[in-house]
Amino acid sequence: MVVVGKSRVHNVNMSGPQKKSLIAILSTCVLVFLVFIIDARFQSIAVFPKFLNRSGDDRPLQLFNEEEFTRLGLTPNEPVTIKDVRTGKERILHGRFLHITDIHPDPYYVEGSSIDAVCHTGKPSKKKDIAPKFGKAMSGCDSPVVLMEETLRWVKENLRDKIDFVIWTGDNVRHDNDRKDPRTEAQIFDMNNIVADKMTELFSAGNEEDPRDFDVSVIPSLGNNDVFPHNMFALGPTLQTREYYRIWKNFIPQQQQRTFDRSASYLAEVIPGKLAVLSINTLYMFKANPLVDNCNSRKEPGYQLLLWFGSVLEELRSRGMKVWLSGHVPPIAKNFDQSCYDKFTLWTHEYRDIIIGGLYGHMNIDHFIPTDGKKARKSLFKNLEQYSRVQEEGATDNGNDENDLNRISDHAMAASEAHIMGAKPSNKEAYMGTVRDTHYRKVWNKLERVDVEDVEGDEMKKDKRKKDRKKKKPINKEELIERYSIVNIGGSVIPTFNPAFRIWEYNISAIANDSGFVAEEYKPWDEFFESLDKVMEDSLLEDSLSENEMSSSNNHLEINSRKAEKRKNKKNKKDDKTIPIEMPDKYKLGPAYVPQLFTPTRFVQFYADLEKIDQALHNSLAESKDVFKYEVEYTSDEKPYSMDSLTVGNYLDLAGRLYEDKDAWEQYVEWSFASSGYKDD
């Protein structure tokens, strides 16, 4: 062997054994390298890949293979890199995000205490009354803190590097269900602060110079148990809105501080210039909030929220962006004041070119509800006529006792239902039966009329109409789909049933195929939000001036006042900025209706089988982290869902199938209760 030095060449003699050893070492190195190359080739992974984190610094990619995706039920898409031209930062997109809700951590939870004493104290009278380490499904107890911690640890170890953002829809404190230890406002703020810190620690980029820099964006929203007293929340600025800005300051863009102080709502750009998430304070439309009467008067919190909502949607449309809606209380008729429900549903309908969908919590049951925008418009204008008459009568009769009693009754019933959310579940099968017999049945009936139109010839259809003049005209399926939006209601971490959360996958193929894709540059958001804050302030000022004018009217001008009131009410309907105009024809249907960039493609539902985890913990000496885990409960592309994408049309087909197919319905209900085995008593 010849060794080349700096100035001389030496002959080096090697023995036979030395040569064999050297050959063996070289052969091993070559073999390892070939195995690595082949593995990378078949797993579609670059040999020496690097990721750019959100701060733009190089960091090595943690290699993962297809088996890991299979274990997690995820589609093994390769991530893509985009650049934000405003900041110069490059960001990684995976085409997935997490929706997590209703964690309800309870620092008073004591392992081994009595379930009958809400798992706080007491000696259990029998084995099934013992509070387990991670909580017990259907017990009525809140989440032990360790359940929250282990849930976030599992997310960190399994999902953090595979998602783009987190939609986190509130209720981060225990329920007020222990008379011996009633909740205080300070405790509510403290626990929310703790949970926010944990979310920051988990998803932050660790940039000390910029605490708002996150590897995975987090968008929180306010729950009805995150306020004191629960359900009651006034229009800001208040102590509570300011305190939540302090707690969530790293999640909320600084230029939105004033609008957040007023509405406890905000906009987050998760892909700058392209995709946003709205955090909506649904408590301003919630029946159980005693400070909410309607969404028609300018002074009402719901009116002001809808003013914010409509303005933000219009701005997003003008920028060519798409948006997810998120909040705690689902916007369905059961939960919202009627005028608030009609207006909110109408906004989602008229902005169907940009709204992708809505994600909510609160109800602890994993299900979806279609909402009808066309019906909401009819209901809204019918109820506005009634509202105008009541307002007119109120100007002379000093109120309407019957209406006041009805309003109080609605608040009391809604508040009672909201309180029950924190107790042992009951009548939930009955509720799901109502969902099937009302919402899904209506969709099924309409789909049946579509089918008749599609399969029957013209002459047969004419004969059918002659025989039954009362029969409604056939429905065009595209028009039917277009009138609906989907409200997605998530399963919860709190063990009302088993703990659960969902990973959503969405289309980023247009970005992956466009090497020049960048986040476009528009006018700064500061200008828009400054303008919006002034609009909301002026709206309240106009209402105050209007009330002062009415109170100064003289009694002898009562007739003229009533005429003026009629004119005012007609004018108000035209000037009501919380009623959207119809979507202009020039706008095309968005990702919720037609597969395109940002269309949700599938989801994976995860759950933690608490009974199995508890048994494993007692049957082994393993640590909690080795026993506690989430599993794939089901995915949207398996039966009975069998959805090839998550468009509104696919959801309507599913609703019809669930109404018609008993076996499919039974499986759907089992999953709605997170495979906990729940049955009504």
3-state helix, strand, coil in the chain (%, to 5): 45, 15, 40
Please say if the pLDDT value at position 407 is more than 50.
yes
**More confident call, 56 vs 632:** 632
SS (HEC) of 23-42: HHHHHHHHHHHHHHHHHHHH
648 has pLDDT over 80: yes
Whether the predicted pLDDT of 459 surpasses 60: no
Q: What is the CA radius of gyration of the chain?
A: 29
In eight-state DSSP terms, residue 439 is: I
- pLDDT at residue 281 in the model: 99
517-561 pLDDT, tens digit each: 666 666 789 999 999 999 999 888 876 655 555 444 444 444 444
Q: Specify the higher pLDDT residue, 75 or 37.
A: 75
Whether the pLDDT of residue 177 is over 50: the answer is yes
> Containing H/E element for 226?
none
Q: Residue 513 has what pLDDT?
A: 72
Residue 52 confidence class, pLDDT cut points 50, 70, 90: very low
* 12, two tokens: 């080096």
- pLDDT for residue 396: 44
Residue 167, pLDDT above cutoff 60: yes
Q: Is the pLDDT of residue 4 over 70?
A: no
Mean pLDDT calculated for residue range 339-351 = 98
Query: 376 pLDDT exceeds 80?
Result: yes
Given pLDDT bands bounded at 50, 70 and 90, which one contains residue 626?
confident
Mean pLDDT of 483-508: 98
Q: How confident is the model at residue 83 (pLDDT cuts 50, 70, 90)?
A: confident
**Which domains, from first to last, does the chain contain?**
2-67 (no CATH), 90-430+473-672 (3.60.21.10)
Residue 335 backbone phi and psi in degrees, to 5: -105, -30
d(CA 160, CA 165): 9
Q: Give per-residue pLDDT as tens, 109-152.
A: 999 999 999 999 999 989 889 999 999 999 999 999 999 999 99
Residue holding tokens 């989801």? 603
Query: Cα(315)–Cα(312) distance, rounded to whole angstroms?
Result: 5
pLDDT at 386: 64
Average pLDDT over residues 337-365: 98
Distance of CA 305 to the CA centre of its chain: 18
pLDDT digits (tens, 9 = 90+) for 313-339: 999 999 999 999 999 999 999 999 999
Question: At residue 474, does pLDDT exceed 90?
Answer: no
Residue 88 has a pLDDT of 80
Predicted confidence at residue 10, as pLDDT, reads: 44
Asked if 347 and 295 touch (Cβ cutoff 8 Å), the reply is no
Measured CA to CA, the distance from residue 424 to residue 188 in angstroms comes to 22
| pLDDT tens string 298-311 | 999 999 999 999 99
pLDDT of residue 155: 99
Predicted confidence (pLDDT) at residue 246 exceeds the cutoff of 70? yes
How far is residue 406 CA from its own chain's centroid? 31
**φ and ψ at 295, to 5 degrees?**
-120, 30
- For the chain, give the mean pLDDT: 85
More confident residue, 615 or 411: 615
